[in-house]
Amino acid sequence: MGIVSLDLIEPEMILAKEVRDSSGRILLGQGAEITEKHLSLFRRWGIIELDIEGQGEEIEEGPLDPEILDEAREKMKAIFRHNNMVHPFVEALHEIVSEREARKMMRNREVQT
């Protein structure tokens, strides 16, 4: 599964997680095959992304691109600006969130290409 922006979703893709509206009502269930009609409804309802089966799975496990990881580290440094970056726990957490961010960036880039 992987989060895919609505603009990049094509009919016949399979929903990995149900879609809910803002009040929590299920609009389309997990495992459903997406149709053109669904897509136009989602657009109207302001849904911006969906969790799609089989997207970005290899990225969840595979090695991280070192350049993207460095980019993510730099980006994540900003949210820790009030903290002492040499504190071992802050450092450990910064690395974890940077890796998560790097995977997200790799997923987004893969979907775009």
List interacting residues with another protein (CB under 8 A): 22-24, 78-84, 87-94, 96-97, 100
H helices of 46-87, in order, are 57-61, 66-77
The amino acid that residue 53 corresponds to is: E
Query: Which one, 30 or 32, has the nearer CB to another protein?
Result: 30
Smallest separation, CB 106 to another protein (Å): 17
Dist CA 60 CA 100 (whole Å)? 9
Query: Which one, 22 or 112, has the nearer CB to another protein?
Result: 22
Query: Which one, 6 or 79, has the nearer CB to another protein?
Result: 79
Smallest separation, CB 27 to another protein (Å): 15
- Selection from 50, 52, 56 nearest residue 19 by Cα: 50
Smallest separation, CB 84 to another protein (Å): 8
Question: Helix or strand or coil: residue 89?
Answer: helix
Query: Which one, 41 or 80, has the nearer CB to another protein?
Result: 80
Dist CA 95 CA 112 (whole Å)? 26
Smallest separation, CB 79 to another protein (Å): 5
- Selection from 66, 67, 25, 65 nearest residue 47 by Cα: 25
